[in-house]
Structure formats: structure tokens, C-alpha cells
Chains A and B, each alone.
Chain A
């Protein structure tokens, strides 16, 4: 029995092309058929339409769903709201992540470095839902944050913040500020790691050269470190941006009931049963991400991944 097995292997070994083909075939079939096939079906279905009376999906090519999508100003609101949130979250994450990444890459010693690395890795991988839920506890009216502010005598500050129109609300867990805070919290590690990786790759000799040539720390930072670390920031922004764009759990659990793209997709396909419209809606994040990735590629983000 072993010998036929062996012979088969040996047979393959001398036919590199066939071997590579056989090794790759399962993955290609899986991702090609299951995944790309599904994406393609989604795209096709976005060109179907739904009969508004019977609710039956008509399988004929039409731009009706896209027309429906862009005709309603509420849908535009959803798209703008989601993209604005994604942008803000990305920028603030980058600002918070940079010093952390900088410290990890430039100052942490060989003992501390792996500890810090693990310290960022663990929250990145650990349960997403649990993390969102923990903020629900923290931001609840009777919860820990209110208590802390009360002890510090800063409760009125929270009231002032919540009184800000549009982004404020009745309490943190029902406001855009709260939602924003949770988004930043959840995606922050995705920003820290690529920046840290790109900072690690800056040769120390460059910093010394800059200093030898009379560049002060600020100048060295601005002219040497920042340009070299920028691809890392862009790489991190791909995650924070894309993840915010598609998320619908955080806006469901935290925040007022205004829709985000993910929630709209979910509602259209589920409760409304309007798969064509849901499909057309989900094409939007795909298009936004493709444009984003193209810009990111130009900025050299892929080399920093």
C-alpha cells in the first residue's frame, strides 16, 4: 500500500507543474468558486430588481436598485455618515497609535518589546463582541465612567459634551461620541502594529546621519522618521477605515438608531427581503475600499504590511 502511495508522490515530484497544480487546485476551487463566485453573484443580484407588490425578485438586468439607492436622500445620509465616521476614527486612531508605536519601536528594550507586542496583539485578537459589550458596561448611565467623573467632580463636563448637537445624546452609550470611542478602542491595535513595523525598519544609521548633519530631534522626526513611517500609517488606516465602513454591530449596540451602511444592508436583505437593494448597497463599501486601496498602493502602504 505504501509503495503505490510512494510511487504517486515520486511521480508527482518529477512533474513540478502538475504537482503545483494539484496542490493549488483545492484552494483555487474553494476561493474561486465559493468566495469570488459569491462576490460575483452579489454583483449580479444588485442588477436585479424586486417587485414592490409581490416582493418577488425579478431576474432581469436593470439599474433600478441603484436608482432606488441614490434617489433617496436618507441613503446618502447613511453613506456620508458611515464614511465620515470611518475617516474620523482612522485619523484619531493614527494620532493615538503613533506615539505608542514609536515608543515600542524606538525606545523599548529587548525585554520590554515582546511584552508590549503581545500587549497589543492580545486585544487585537481577543473577542470583538466582548470588547464592544465592555463599553456598554463602561458607558452605561449608572456605570463606571459616570462614577469616575462624579468622584473627580467632572460630571458637568460630560453633560456639556453630551449637549453638543448632532454628536451628543441622552447618554454616552446612545451618542456618536460613544460610538466613535468604541470604534477607536476596537481598531486601535490594527493601527499600532503596522506603524510599529514600519518604524522598526528605519535604519538607526539614518537617525544618526541626520543628527550628524545638524538636524535637531524635531527636524529629524519631521524630515526622516515621519516620511518613512507614513506608509505604515496608511497600511493601518486600511484596516481602521475598512472595518468601520463595514461594521454594523457597534452602531447597533452603541449609538442612537441612525443607520450605518452595514445596518442598512442587513435590514434590506433581512426584514425587507430586498436582496437587490442590499446588494447594491454593499457594492458601495467595495467601491470605496477599491479607491482607497488604489490610493494606499500609490502611497506605498502595501510594502509596509
Chain B
């Protein structure tokens, strides 16, 4: 870039740094508060540091129940999203037919419309048809908006992988199943894993749709929401918050590294 841009560059740099501080600092503040000895308020500077709340959180049964429920819901929804998303990708990627765009649109819709709309429509439909709210109603809701992560990841990978490999496999006498098993599947494996990870993180963190489709049970986000509104032990909430940061951040990092090749291939 020519030197006359320099002044602007400094401004841009400052804006970028400030922007990044703005989006990252709050997360560190939460982590810091999990170690605070302060019990009642959000006092700063922190009066002291302790690991006590991690132990207290560990002994709380309600937290464990929420974690187990969230993990179950996220795992089952992810498996369903993987099956539904991958099958659709295999149909869509090599063929041109009427309504292909419609499918992409349909898959995005559950996350493009406000969560409240998805939530209330699923809830009203479930109660209209007398379906009792349970773990399964949460799973149905979550799988619906999780499909998009798998679909997008796998479709992107399929479009980038060359079809000649499939042709070669068939030429060498492999039947369609063998071709799928030994050529296509290994090819899309990391994209599947990445999509699955994102789907897991998405489900683990979802709160709006869950409030509408859950019965009496609480997932981790629902547990947290209840604690925000009627706090029992504030420091324990901070500990759970740190746990949630880990559970949602790690899959994203893994997914990022798994699909990095795709990004590179684009340029």
C-alpha cells in the first residue's frame, strides 16, 4: 500500500484493537470472577482469590443433572443432524434439480428466523397435538436448527473434492457402497466432525428455543438463566459459566482446525 495510507492505517489499527478488546475482555472478566472470594456482590477489585467455588459447584446435584441433560440432548441432536444433513448433501451436491435452492433456504430458516419464533411455533404445535414435553421435545427442536452446521460444512467439502476420485473408484471396479465407504466418507470425515462439533456447541448453549420446548427439566443454559434471575449462590454460577465457556469454545477451535484446509482451498 502507498505511504499516504499510513495515517488511516494507524486509525484502523487502533479501531481494530479496541474492537477486539471489546469483544474479548468480558469473557476474561467472567473467568476472573469464578475465583473471587466475594459471595454476595460483583465487587471489583476482587477482595481475594479462592478455588472454593469449584468444589462447591462439584457437589451440587442440580448442576450435574443439567450437565447430563445438556450432553444427552446435544449428542442426540448432533447425531440426528449429521444423518439428516449428510444424506441431503449427498443428494444435492452433484445434481441440479428444481428446488435445490429451496433446500438450502429451508435448512437456514430455523436459525435465520428469530429464536422466539422457532420456539413458540414448536411449542404451540407440540401442545396442539398433545405431545408431552420431555427430553425428546428438546431434541426435536435442537436437531432442527443444528442441521444447518452439518449441511453447510459437508456440502462445502463435497463441492471442493474432485469427482474424478469417485469415477476412478468406480472404474477400478468398486461398487457404489464401497465407493461411498472408502472414497467419499474418508473425504468428508473431518467436515462431518467439524459440523458435528459446531452442532454440539450450538445445542449445548441454546436457551431461547429450549425454554419453549422443555418441560420441568433444565439444561445448563436454563439452569443459568434461572440463577441469573433468582441467584442462590452467585459464585457457583460463575464457575458454571467458565465450564460453559470451555464446552462451547473447545469444539469451535477443533472445528476450525478441521476445516482450515477448506478455507485455504478457496483462495
A residues bordering B, Cβ < 8 Å? Answer: 5-6, 9-10, 12-13, 16, 19-20, 23-24, 26-28, 30-32, 34-39, 41-42, 45, 96-97, 99-100, 102-104, 106-107, 114, 116, 118-123, 125-131, 133-138, 140, 142-144, 146-147, 185, 188-189, 192, 211, 217, 238, 242-243, 245-249, 252-253, 261-262, 265-266, 269, 275, 278-279, 282, 285-286, 289
Q: Which of B11, B20, B106, B114 is close to A243, meaning CB atoms less than 8 Å apart?
A: B114
* Complex Cα spacing A278 to B121, Å: 10
- Cβ of B23 and Cβ of A41 under 8 Å apart? no
* Complex Cα spacing A265 to B118, Å: 12
Which chain B residues lie closer than 8 Å to A96 at the CB level?
Answer: 15, 19, 22
Which chain A residues lie closer than 8 Å to B120 at the CB level?
Answer: 42, 265, 269, 278-279, 282
Q: What does DSSP make chain A's interface, helix, strand, loop or mixed?
A: helix
* Complex Cα spacing A121 to B197, Å: 14
- Cβ of B241 and Cβ of A31 under 8 Å apart? no
Closest chain B residue to A43 by CB distance?
B121
- Cβ of B26 and Cβ of A135 under 8 Å apart? yes
- Cβ of A130 and Cβ of B175 under 8 Å apart? no
- Cβ of A252 and Cβ of B208 under 8 Å apart? no
Given known pairs A119-B20, A249-B225, the reply for A27 and B113 (CB within 8 Å) is no
Which chain A residues lie closer than 8 Å to B41 at the CB level?
Answer: 140, 142
Tell me whether B157 is interfacial, beta carbon within 8 Å: no
Total number of A-B contacts with CB less than 8 angstroms? 260
Q: Which of A120, A125, A249 is close to B198, meaning CB atoms less than 8 Å apart?
A: A125
Closest chain A residue to B88 by CB distance?
A27
Given known pairs A41-B121, A246-B113, the reply for A26 and B175 (CB within 8 Å) is no
Which chain A residues lie closer than 8 Å to B11 at the CB level?
Answer: 99
Q: Which of B110, B178, B241 is close to A35, meaning CB atoms less than 8 Å apart?
A: B110
- Cβ of A24 and Cβ of B205 under 8 Å apart? no
- Cβ of A31 and Cβ of B144 under 8 Å apart? yes
Q: List 14 A-B contacts (CB under 8 A).
A: A6-B175, A12-B176, A20-B97, A28-B106, A96-B19, A96-B22, A114-B260, A130-B241, A131-B26, A134-B29, A143-B42, A192-B19, A265-B120, A275-B124
- Cβ of A118 and Cβ of B256 under 8 Å apart? yes
* Complex Cα spacing A189 to B26, Å: 14
* Complex Cα spacing A278 to B205, Å: 25
* Complex Cα spacing A31 to B143, Å: 10
Closest chain A residue to B44 by CB distance?
A144
Give the one of B16, B83, B84, B97 with max A CB within 10 A: B16
Closest chain B residue to A268 by CB distance?
B120
Closest chain B residue to A244 by CB distance?
B114
Given known pairs A13-B176, A20-B95, the reply for A27 and B84 (CB within 8 Å) is yes
Closest chain A residue to B252 by CB distance?
A125
Tell me whether B229 is interfacial, beta carbon within 8 Å: yes
Question: Using a CB-CB cutoff of 8 Å, which residues 46-71 of chain B contact chain A?
Answer: none
Q: What does DSSP make chain B's interface, helix, strand, loop or mixed?
A: helix
Residues 173-187 of chain B, each 1 if its beta carbon lies under 8 Å from chain A, else 0: 001111010000000
- Cβ of A107 and Cβ of B1 under 8 Å apart? yes
* Complex Cα spacing A166 to B175, Å: 70
Which chain A residues lie closer than 8 Å to B12 at the CB level?
Answer: 99, 102-103, 107
* Complex Cα spacing A37 to B124, Å: 11
Tell me whether B125 is interfacial, beta carbon within 8 Å: yes
Closest chain B residue to A188 by CB distance?
B23
Given known pairs A134-B26, A249-B207, the reply for A100 and B15 (CB within 8 Å) is yes
- Cβ of A103 and Cβ of B13 under 8 Å apart? yes
* Complex Cα spacing A137 to B231, Å: 13
Give the one of A16, A121, A249 with max B CB within 10 A: A249
Question: Using a CB-CB cutoff of 8 Å, which residues 88-130 of chain B contact chain A?
Answer: 88, 90-92, 95, 97, 103, 106-107, 109-110, 112-118, 120-128
B215 to chain A, nearest CB (A): 13
Given known pairs A126-B252, A188-B22, the reply for A282 and B9 (CB within 8 Å) is no
